[in-house]
A and B are shown apart, each in its own frame.
Chain A
Amino acid sequence: MSTEARMDEGRLGRLCVVRLKPNQDLTEGVEAACLDLGLTRAVIRTGIGSLNDAHFDSGERIVSVAGPGLEILTLTGEVAPDASGRPRAELAGAVCNSEGAVMGGRFRRAENIICITLELQLQEWVPG
């Protein structure tokens, strides 16, 4: 084969509809929602909203985008348990600024604060 792959068998479980509120961190807010809902493994199905400012990891660089009011255009990622069993989110996505210019990357923890809202669909991943 010309590709490498690792398969994780399981099924999708409960679908959760969540709103994150202003002044919550994006990553920590997703984790808190998972904790509240009893999800330790989940995938992001949909997420749109806005951020005050955006800070991404992009390789070894940190890319920052000034807001407020940056539109979250896409949000992808997963939630999996950390060493202590608590849900930990790894998220990436794209935002646009007031001119409509698009930037993206991996969202840095505790540095991406919700501006107005985040409408989120989380779906439980059940290994098996």
Chain B
Amino acid sequence: MDGLVDVLSALGLAQAGVVFLRGDFSRVAFMTGRPDTSGRRAATHAGPWTLDGPLTILGGSAVVGLDGDDRPLVHCHTFFSGPDGAVRGGHMLAGRCPLGDGGLLGLACCPIEAGFKIALDRETNFPIFHPLTHLSGAAAR
């Protein structure tokens, strides 16, 4: 995910929605969702789980937006097959999912005048992405 930010930053792009076309991880750390028994939230996270690769990316998406200090932040969900062929998926943890030798090929759709920024959502009690604006010209690279 750091690599995704680096590539977009080099192109001068701060916001993107990315669909993964192919690629592989050498290792993954991910979380999933589960019911929250505390009553504070509708759901919470389970995990993290870690798996060693090689792991083939079968699909996934990422939203690149801004954190509270206007630095890039990636929200990424993927699913992948491991060495035994089993398929798993979830919410990928930043900095803990190094790509394999094949790298990642994705289709990025980058709004120029719109995007997402993180903020605490009082309804769900999670920090989540909120739209900055709605309409924009688009750049697909």
Cβ of B81 to closest chain A Cβ, rounded Å: 10
Whether A74 touches B43, Cβ cut-off 8 Å, given contacts A17-B132, A100-B30, A102-B89, is no
The answer for the CA separation of A89 and B111 in the assembled complex, in Å, is: 22
The answer for the CA separation of A16 and B121 in the assembled complex, in Å, is: 21
- Give chain A residues whose Cβ lies under 8 Å from the Cβ of B121: 117
Beta-carbon contact of B88 and A100 below 8 Å: yes
Q: Which of B42, B59, B87, B116 contacts A116 (CB 8 A)?
A: B42
Q: Does A42 contact B (CB under 8 A)?
A: no
Q: Does A96 contact B (CB under 8 A)?
A: yes
The answer for the CA separation of A67 and B137 in the assembled complex, in Å, is: 37
Summarize A's interface: helix, strand, loop or mixed: strand
Whether A69 touches B34, Cβ cut-off 8 Å, given contacts A18-B134, A119-B63, A119-B116, is yes
Beta-carbon contact of B131 and A75 below 8 Å: no
- Give chain B residues whose Cβ lies under 8 Å from the Cβ of A102: 79, 87-89
Cβ of A10 to closest chain B Cβ, rounded Å: 15
Q: Which of A37, A52, A96 contacts B32 (CB 8 A)?
A: A96
Cβ of B73 to closest chain A Cβ, rounded Å: 12
Which residue of chain B has the shortest Cβ distance to A47 in the bound complex? Answer: B61
The answer for the CA separation of A67 and B33 in the assembled complex, in Å, is: 8
Q: Does B98 contact A (CB under 8 A)?
A: no
Beta-carbon contact of B59 and A98 below 8 Å: no
- Give chain B residues whose Cβ lies under 8 Å from the Cβ of A45: 17, 19, 109
Beta-carbon contact of B126 and A19 below 8 Å: no
- Give chain B residues whose Cβ lies under 8 Å from the Cβ of A101: 87-88
Q: Does A63 contact B (CB under 8 A)?
A: no
Beta-carbon contact of B43 and A69 below 8 Å: yes
Residues in A lying within 8 Å of B, measured CB to CB: 12, 14-19, 21-22, 37, 45-48, 50, 52, 67-75, 94, 96-102, 115-117, 119, 121, 123
Q: Give 15 A-B pairs besides A71-B33, A102-B89 with Cβ atoms closer than 8 angstroms.
A: A17-B15, A17-B115, A48-B63, A48-B76, A68-B35, A69-B32, A71-B91, A72-B77, A73-B79, A74-B59, A74-B79, A96-B32, A99-B32, A102-B88, A115-B43
A–B Cβ pairs within 8 angstroms, 25 of them: A14-B135, A15-B137, A17-B114, A17-B115, A17-B134, A19-B129, A19-B130, A48-B75, A50-B33, A67-B33, A68-B33, A69-B42, A69-B43, A71-B77, A71-B90, A73-B61, A74-B77, A94-B89, A100-B47, A100-B88, A116-B124, A117-B129, A119-B75, A121-B17, A123-B138
